[in-house]
Amino acid sequence: MARTKRDRLITRRIARWIDGRVGTAKFARSALGKVFPNHWSFLLGEIALYAFVVLVLTGTYLTFFFDASSREVVYQGVYTPLRGVTMSEAYRSAIDLSFEVRAGLVMRQIHHWAALLFIAAIVVHMMRIFFTGAFRRPREINWMVGVTLLILSIFNGFAGYSLLDDQLSGTGLRIAYSIALSIPIGGTWVASLLFGGEFPGADIIGRLYVIHILLIPAAIIGLLGAHLAILVRQKHTQFRGLGRTEDNVVGERVWPSFAFKSVGLMLLTTAVLSALGGLAQINPVWLYGPFRPAEVSSASQPDWFMGWLDGALRLFPGWEIRAFGFEVPAPFFPAVALAGLTFALLYLWPFIEARFTGDYEVHHLLDRPRDRPRRTAIGVGAFTFYAMLTLSASSDVTATTFGLSVNSVVWSLRILTLVAPFVSGVIAYRLCRELLQREAGTVVAYEPSGDSLIE
């Protein structure tokens, strides 16, 4: 093989050294040559991926300083409004991170903003997949992997902000305990095994720590790997267009264009998260105080991704089922049953839709949302429902901000949450049909010569 001067570069020599031992050239050639279609909505999943990378990096840094222990200590650090106050080691280490570890606060805040962004990105990515029908055969497995990733990320987010043992997250843990209690038959066991006894116990922080830094991240990394591997194996979907068929994928190669764009997006995502982490205060636990079981603050909300559950808890009336001395407490329905139903429907959606449309074919070409008015209407309606629930979690803050009665706000939201999904679904349906009708008889594609294809 003729050696050029370039081949003596250290990078080239290392590459050849590795290849001589494991034979990477063939794989690398195939990987770097892969074609990815170019559309902004195909980058949404990447936002989630890069937010996760930021989470792991900042999270690792935080683990070097955080102490997940419930042992009580008296604070004697720099922040005077808490001097002499009794608190757990966990809370104390969070205060130290925020006040005494250099760059500790910015790392903590970037980590928390990244968690909020991670789940938001998963949700918009999932909506893109839904509205373009990318979950259809052969991608049902990847859809289910994705839903699992959503569930895991929500759990991990909840576990993460509960670690700090502050008043706000401790209130949330109490609610989680009570929701576990509400499970029929075995609820008291679930709650006791989770918390190591009655609330609050001394075990929950330590257990959440292991779950948060090891168990769920490991599961997420594994599932992410599967998610990407399946995507690479099946190749990305694409929108209809010139030269695009069910048997090809048209776009640009990984090397160098797509790789640089992806790395660029990763860097920009990190940049946005860094800006948020330094400029926008999030979760100022030193103002909330350490957790005390008998205390609470108004304006107690969970982070946004738990909002739909909290909103459901606020709206659902006190309807319990009591019989033969047993009861199914009211919170079971808006918390456990709703969550179970939500995720079950999400998991099953590809199969439900296939059953209804009778379409079991392989699809690599995407629908535009307007191409499937019914699916789009259902998606818009469902999104409206969960958005209304999330909004409902802010009922008291909304009431005070706009000078309204919180009771009226709750009643209005109860009605709106049931009505708005249908209204928005119908509007979406009509809009799709309208757009389709307008297209019939107009230009949809162009030839290279500039002549148009009329459909």
Partner 1 sequence: MTAPDPQVPIPTSAAEDDAHGRAERAAIGRRRERFAALSFAVSVVAAIGLGVVYWRGGQPQLEGVFLALGFGGLGVGFIVWAKHFMPHEEVTEERHSLASTDEEMTLFREEFERGEQVLERRGLLLKAAGAALAALGAALIFPIRSLGPRPGKGLKSTPFRAGVRLVTEANEPIKPADLVTGGVLTVFPEDHTNAADASTVLIRPGTAVKPRPGRETWTPDGVVAYSKLCTHVGCPVGLYQAEEHLLLCPCHQSTFDVLDGARPVFGPAARSLPQLPLGIDADGYFVSLGDFSGPTGAGFWDRDR
Partner 2 sequence: MSPPRRRRAARGLTRFGPLIVVVVSVLAIVVDHQLRASAAPSAARSANAPSAAGPVEAGRELFVVGCSGCHGLDGTGLRAADGSVLGPSLTASGEAAAYFYLSTGRMPLANPTKPPVRKDPVYTAEQIDDLVSFVGSLGDGPAIPQVQPAAGDLAAGGEIYRSQCAACHSATGAGGALSYGRAAPSLSEATPLQVATAVRIGPDQMPAFGDDAISADQLNSLARYIEYLHHPDNRGGVDLGGLGPVPEGLLIWMVGIGGIIALCVWIAYKPRRREARATR
Q: How far is the CB of 314 from partner 1 (least distance, A)?
A: 4
Residue 291 binds which entry of partner 1, partner 2, none, CB below 5-8 Å type-dependent: none
Sole residue written with tokens 């991704």: 305
Q: Which does 314 bind (CB under 5 to 8 A by kind): partner 1, partner 2, none?
A: partner 1
For the bound state, the minimum distance from the C-beta of residue 394 to partner 1, rounded and expressed in Å, comes to 12
* Alpha carbon distance 24, 21 (integer Å): 9
Instruction: Give the Å distances, CA to CA, from 265 to 111, 112, 257, 260, 272.
Output: 18, 20, 12, 8, 10
Question: Binding residue for partner 2 (CB under 8 A) from 198, 295, 320, 327?
Answer: 295
The phi-psi region of residue 46 (left if phi > 0; otherwise alpha if psi is between -120 and 50; otherwise beta) is alpha
Instruction: Write down the residue that tokens 């107690």 correspond to.
Output: 300
Q: List the single partner that 103 binds among partner 2, partner 1, none, CB under 5 to 8 Å by kind.
A: partner 1
When asked if residue 377 is in the footprint of partner 2 (CB under 8 A), the reply is no
Q: Is residue 428 exposed (0-12), middle (13-18) or buried (19+ Cβ within 10 Å)? A: buried
Among 77, 256, 264, 340, binds partner 2 (CB under 8 A): 264
Task: Identify residues 69-88 at the interface with partner 2 (CB under 8 A).
Answer: 79-85
Contact between 439 and partner 2 per CB under 8 A? no
| Range in contact with partner 2 (rule: CB under 8 A) among 189-197, 207-215, 353-361, 401-409 | 401-409
182 binds, among partner 2, partner 1, none (CB under 5 to 8 A by kind): partner 1
Q: How far is the CB of 308 from partner 1 (least distance, A)?
A: 14
Q: In 196-234, which residue ranges form alpha helices assigned H by DSSP?
A: 204-210, 216-234
How many residues touch partner 2 (CB under 8 A)?
80
Angle between helices 373-392 and 406-439 (to 10 degrees): 160
Nearest Cα residue to 321 out of 332, 310, 311, 313: 332
Q: Pick one of partner 2, partner 1, none as the site partner of residue 270 (Cβ within 5 to 8 A by kind).
A: partner 1
174 is a contact residue toward partner 2 (CB under 8 A): no
Q: Is 317 in the site for partner 2 (CB under 8 A)?
A: no
Residue 134's alpha-carbon distances to 245, 343, 365, 367, in angstroms, are 15, 18, 8, 8
Nearer to partner 1, 63 or 408 (CB): 408
222 touching partner 2, by CB under 8 A:
no
**CA atoms 393, 158, 171, 167: torsion sign:** negative
Give me the helices (H) in 359-405, please: 373-392, 395-402
The one among 168, 180, 366, 413 contacting partner 2 by CB under 8 A: 168
Which residues, numbered 16-55, are part of the site for partner 2 (CB under 8 A)? 33, 35, 38-44, 47
When CB distances are held under 5 to 8 angstroms depending on the partner's kind, the choice from partner 1, partner 2, none that residue 357 binds is none
Question: Considering the complex, what minimum distance in angstroms separates the CB of residue 40 from partner 2?
Answer: 4
Q: Which does residue 44 touch among partner 1, partner 2, none (CB within 5 to 8 A, set by kind)?
A: partner 2
Q: And the tokens for 353?
A: 């839709």
Phi-psi label, residue 303: left if phi above 0, alpha if psi -120 to 50, beta otherwise: beta
Task: Answer whether 277's CB lies under 8 Å from 106's CB.
Answer: yes
Interacting stretch for partner 2, rule CB under 8 A, among 290-298, 334-342, 370-378, 425-433?
290-298
Residue 290's beta-bridge partner residues? Answer: 166
What DSSP designation does 326 have? E
Q: Tell me how far, at minimum, the Cβ of 104 lies from partner 2, in Å.
A: 11
Helix (H, G, I), strand (E, B) or coil at 232: helix
- Within 10 Å of residue 20's Cβ, how many Cβ atoms? 9
Residue 80 binding: pick among partner 1, partner 2, none (C-beta 5-8 Å cut-off by kind):
partner 2
Q: Which helix (H) or strand (E) holds 100?
A: none
CB 452 within 8 A of CB 446: yes
In the region spanning residues 104 to 123, those forming contacts with partner 2, defined by CB under 8 A, are 105, 109, 113, 116-117, 120-121
Closer residue to partner 1, CB minimum distance, 76 or 408: 408
Question: Binding of partner 2 at residue 403 (CB under 8 A)?
Answer: yes
Cβ closest to partner 1, residue 21 vs residue 322 = 322
- Binding test (CB under 8 A) with partner 2, winner from 278, 368, 371, 431: 278
Residue 127 Cβ vs partner 1, minimum distance, rounded to whole Å: 24
